Amino acid sequence: MAWRRITTHVAVALIAIGVSTSSGDFARAADQTQPETQSVRKARLVTRIDTKDRVAFITIDDGRSVTESMADFIRENRIPVTSFVLPEWLKKLWEPTYSTFPNMTFENHSNTHRRLGRMSLEKQTRELCEASRLITKIAGDTPRFFRPPGGVMNNDTLKAAGACGMPYVVKWSVDTAGGVVNPVGARTTLQRGDIILLHYIPQDTAVLKQVMKMMKEAGLKPALLRDYLP
């Protein structure tokens, strides 16, 4: 009886040791992976800027072609523009067009303009990092922001942007689809901190002029996102 009780105690003690050893190993393994996951900081999603300055932000996407009238209007008025241009088109139009704008930054809009919502984190990271690499090579400056094609994104998009060195994913608070300036929510005027989405398409020359007029009426000046999202 006594012997059996002792063996039972030993067995229990061994199980206890076994459990504590394995959980100890597990904890150590988790600790070792922590620095890696912590070093990649997730990007922050931004749709407007919280600022007391009377400024709004003109952002223009895609960029297969830029009309002469739009290019002239941007240059003549020295309009600060945040461009989310695909690397392929940035490269094709760098010399004649994009390099001539006086106050423009070039940010990341993916490499192939595919919708990211259903892509794995790995594929999203490849899309974004490759675009940043190419833009840096062409423009000589590394993108700080990412805008998802079609605004379609998920939590992994924030991780991918962070992993590719971009601290912000930027959407918008004012849409101009169909040539109509359309602030998100129940308002018709522009407000300080608005991020306005346009595209490099022929009809958006008129939209850009309309946006500049509305900004003037609201007492706002255009500014660069990089000056407000360091």
Binding site for Zn ion (CB under 5 A): 61-62, 149
Q: Buried b / exposed e across 114-142, counting CB within 10 Å, b at 16+?
A: eebeebeeeebbebbbbbbebbbebbeee
Please report how close the Cβ of residue 20 comes to Zn ion at its closest, in angstroms. Answer: 55
Identify which of residues 61 and 156 has a Cβ nearer to Zn ion in the complex.
Answer: 61
Please tell me the distance from the alpha carbon of residue 117 to that of residue 131, in angstroms, as a whole number.
17
Return the residue matching tokens 């922001």: 145
Q: φ and ψ at 224, to 5 degrees?
A: -85, 135
Please report how close the Cβ of residue 103 comes to Zn ion at its closest, in angstroms. Answer: 22
Please report how close the Cβ of residue 132 comes to Zn ion at its closest, in angstroms. Answer: 16
Measured CA to CA in angstroms, residue 15 lies from 9, 19, 21, 73 at distances of 10, 6, 10, 77
Please tell me the distance from the alpha carbon of residue 202 to that of residue 206, in angstroms, as a whole number.
8
Identify which of residues 89 and 168 has a Cβ nearer to Zn ion in the complex.
Answer: 89
Identify which of residues 55 and 107 has a Cβ nearer to Zn ion in the complex.
Answer: 107
Identify which of residues 62 and 227 has a Cβ nearer to Zn ion in the complex.
Answer: 62
Identify which of residues 55 and 198 has a Cβ nearer to Zn ion in the complex.
Answer: 198
* Residue 26, number of CB atoms within 10 A of its CB: 10
Please report how close the Cβ of residue 151 comes to Zn ion at its closest, in angstroms. Answer: 9
Please report how close the Cβ of residue 174 comes to Zn ion at its closest, in angstroms. Answer: 16
